[in-house]
């Protein structure tokens, strides 16, 4: 079935469905990457009690969950620092920025830094390892029972995490109790389950042409939520301490769970006989990438997943270093300029969304992704040698299309699998994204101090070189597609 046939059945762009208009999706051809819709009974179960009157579906869920996560992450790290400092009797502040103190290093400060970093690693690693097992289970399960149950469950788990963090702060429990909160969130899928269910829902309710933009809209929600949380969290903590921001995080997660239950339309036909605890769910994920995958799609899935891994690793790794790079000489930025820099980073989500929309009118998605990677490479090259504020913001400006590549990669992965496998696919993509965070944190944060004597901006240069790999893979695969189908534009 070609795109013109598909668009006669599925909407060009996603619009929320009324209670009696839930779409029924069939299978996807792995070779043509187009949707083949089969006749199925109209879905009558799994409808939201109150269909949302606004032109959105899962966007508010992802926005609220991301806002809560972005609000908590820097605050709980700062709380760890303050609690460990108090426990060890350290009353100083972190040295850094452009300080040129010639005195000997404070051994107590180093111990506080080490313990904070270790506890941060233990807590995040515990949540990630638990979530890695559960999110693949929930993702495949959502292909059978629907996306809404997974969204509600994961948001409730995130709310439990915030509740545990509040309890630790109110009762001044040992910081090890933070691990309990992360494990409770991991048992319910963690934020990765929200990502998997939201992107799978977008794939369920969009056609071949509209899918990339739908995915880009969800990624824009991530960027805007992160920007608002980073602006609000720091100012609020300085004004009122840690407690109130975490109450807001708890409220956001509960609101996300309630919205998912009340307003999100179900996008798959629920199978009431499907069991949650079944080895078949993990097998479904493994089958996607196995050598016996249908139509030889396994190789393409691996290549696109590798591209996604490299791109997101560079995004996370460079983002971890921006503030440290800005605070130190020769830039020596203060809090105000750091805030402007953070806003400029997150604005790339919106500029990439607009650029993607415009470029899709004349270019194939693959070329749009390559242009996005070129934008990111140019930005990293400039930032790697930035010695003035003007040059640093020039780098941020060149980054305007950098977030266009990831929605294209998610969309291409989605088109290679059946509608009945979208949950399993995006669960595996969410796990890859979690691995990117761990790898980026370890690699880039280790590389930065090691290469300071040689070149301060070397990690950014390394990231730019690394992005040449996915650009080459995407370009090569697109050229092969054109040769295989000469009529393809």
**Residues 312-335: pLDDT tens digits?**
999 988 987 887 788 778 888 876
121 has a pLDDT exceeding 90:
no
42 or 209: which leads in pLDDT: 209
The predicted model gives 344-370 an average pLDDT of 91
CATH number of the domain that residue 486 is part of: 1.20.1250.20
The predicted model gives 255-279 an average pLDDT of 80
The predicted model gives 276-301 an average pLDDT of 68
Listing DSSP states for 95-145 in one string gives --TT----SPP-HHHHHHHHHHHHHHHHHHHHHHHHHHHHHHHHHHHHHHH
Q: Are residues 203 and 315 in the same domain?
A: no
Q: Are residues 296 and 258 in the same domain?
A: no
Q: How far apart are CA 96 and CA 305, in angstroms?
A: 38
Instruction: Report the pLDDT value the prediction gives residue 486, as an integer from 0 to 100.
Output: 57
Q: Are residues 57 and 203 in the same domain?
A: yes
Instruction: Report the pLDDT value the prediction gives residue 44, as an integer from 0 to 100.
Output: 36
Q: Inter-axis angle of helices 59-88 and 147-171, to 10 degrees?
A: 20
Q: Are residues 308 and 453 in the same domain?
A: yes
Position 274 in a domain: no
Instruction: Report the pLDDT value the prediction gives residue 321, as an integer from 0 to 100.
Output: 84
Q: Are residues 323 and 393 in the same domain?
A: yes
- Which of 247, 263, 279 marks a domain boundary? 263
Instruction: Report the pLDDT value the prediction gives residue 247, as an integer from 0 to 100.
Output: 95
Reference 181, options 139, 233, 122, 239; nearest CA is 122
Residue 292: which pLDDT band, with cuts at 50, 70 and 90?
low
Q: What is the mean pLDDT of the chain?
A: 80
Q: How far is CA 372 from the centre of its chain?
A: 17
Q: Are residues 411 and 456 in the same domain?
A: yes
Q: Containing domain of residue 328, as a range?
A: 291-489
Q: Are residues 303 and 363 in the same domain?
A: yes
Position 271 in a domain: no
Using a pLDDT cut of 70, give the percent of the chain over it: 80
- Which of 243, 263, 283 marks a domain boundary? 263
User: Could you give the angle at the alpha carbon of 237 between the alpha carbons of 234 and 243, nearest 5°?
Assistant: 135
Instruction: Report the pLDDT value the prediction gives residue 157, as an integer from 0 to 100.
Output: 94
Using a pLDDT cut of 90, give the percent of the chain over it: 35
Position 456 in a domain: yes
Q: How far apart are CA 158 and CA 151, in angstroms?
A: 11
Q: Are residues 164 and 243 in the same domain?
A: yes
pTM here is 0.77
27 or 84: which leads in pLDDT: 84
Position 216 in a domain: yes
Q: Are residues 486 and 345 in the same domain?
A: yes
289 has a pLDDT exceeding 80:
no
Position 406 in a domain: yes
Domain count, the chain: 2
The predicted model gives 122-136 an average pLDDT of 82
**pLDDT, tens digit, for every residue of 131-189?**
788 888 888 888 888 899 999 999 999 999 999 999 999 999 988 899 999 999 989 98
Both tokens of 278, joined, read: 């079944």
Position 273 in a domain: no
**pLDDT, tens digit, for every residue of 394-441?**
999 999 999 999 999 999 999 988 888 888 888 888 888 888 988 888
Position 280 in a domain: no
**pLDDT, tens digit, for every residue of 99-111?**
544 455 567 777 8
Q: How far apart are CA 96 and CA 75, in angstroms?
A: 19
Position 284 in a domain: no
Q: How far apart are CA 479 and CA 141, in angstroms?
A: 36
């Amino acid at each position: 079935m070609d795109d013109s046939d598909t668009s006669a059945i599925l909407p060009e762009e996603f619009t929320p469905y009324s209670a009696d208009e839930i779409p029924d999706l069939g299978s996807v051809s792995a070779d043509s990457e187009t949707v083949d819709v089969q006749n199925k009974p109209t879905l009558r179960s799994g409808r939201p009690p109150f269909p949302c009157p606004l032109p959105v579906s899962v966007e508010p869920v992802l926005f609220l969950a991301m806002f809560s996560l972005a609000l908590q992450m820097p605050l709980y790290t700062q709380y760890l620092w303050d609690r460990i400092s108090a426990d060890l009797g350290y009353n100083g502040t972190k040295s850094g920025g452009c300080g040129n103190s010639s005195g000997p290093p404070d051994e107590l400060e180093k111990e506080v830094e080490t313990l904070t970093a270790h506890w941060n690693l233990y807590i995040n690693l515990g949540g990630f390892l638990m979530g890695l097992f559960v999110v693949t289970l929930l993702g495949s399960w959502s292909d059978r029972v629907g996306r809404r149950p997974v969204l509600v469950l994961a948001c409730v788990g995130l709310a439990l995490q915030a509740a545990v963090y509040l309890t630790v702060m109110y009762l001044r429990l040992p910081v090890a109790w933070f691990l309990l909160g992360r494990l409770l969130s991991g048992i319910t899928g963690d934020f990765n389950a929200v990502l998997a269910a939201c992107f799978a829902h977008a794939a369920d309710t969009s056609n071949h042409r509209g899918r990339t933009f739908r995915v880009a809209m969800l990624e824009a929600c991530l960027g805007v939520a992160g920007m608002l949380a980073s602006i609000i969290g720091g100012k609020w903590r300085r004004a009122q301490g840690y407690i109130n921001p975490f109450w807001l995080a708890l409220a956001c997660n509960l609101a996300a769970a309630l919205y998912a239950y009340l307003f999100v339309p179900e996008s798959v036909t629920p199978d009431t006989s499907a069991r949650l605890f079944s080895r078949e769910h993990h097998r479904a994920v493994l089958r996607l990438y196995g050598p016996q995958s249908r139509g030889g799609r396994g190789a393409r899935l691996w290549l696109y997943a590798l591209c996604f891994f490299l791109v997101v690793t560079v995004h996370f790794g460079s983002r971890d270093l921006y503030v440290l790079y800005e605070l130190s000489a020769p830039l020596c930025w203060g809090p105000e300029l750091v805030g402007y820099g953070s806003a400029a980073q997150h604005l790339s989500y919106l500029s990439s969304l607009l650029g993607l929309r415009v470029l899709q009118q004349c270019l194939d998605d693959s070329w749009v992704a390559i242009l996005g990677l070129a934008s990111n490479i140019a930005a990293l090259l400039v930032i790697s040698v930035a010695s003035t504020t003007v040059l640093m913001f020039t780098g941020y400006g060149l980054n305007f299309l950098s977030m266009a590549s990831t929605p294209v990669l998610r969309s291409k992965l989605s088109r290679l699998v059946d509608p009945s496998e979208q949950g399993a696919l995006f669960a595996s993509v969410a796990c890859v994204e979690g691995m990117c965070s761990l790898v980026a944190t370890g690699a880039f944060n280790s590389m930065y101090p090691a290469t300071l004597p040689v070149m301060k901006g070397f990690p950014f240069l390394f990231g730019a070189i690394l992005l040449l790999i996915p650009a080459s893979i995407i370009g090569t695969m697109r050229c092969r597609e054109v040769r295989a189908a000469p009529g393809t534009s």
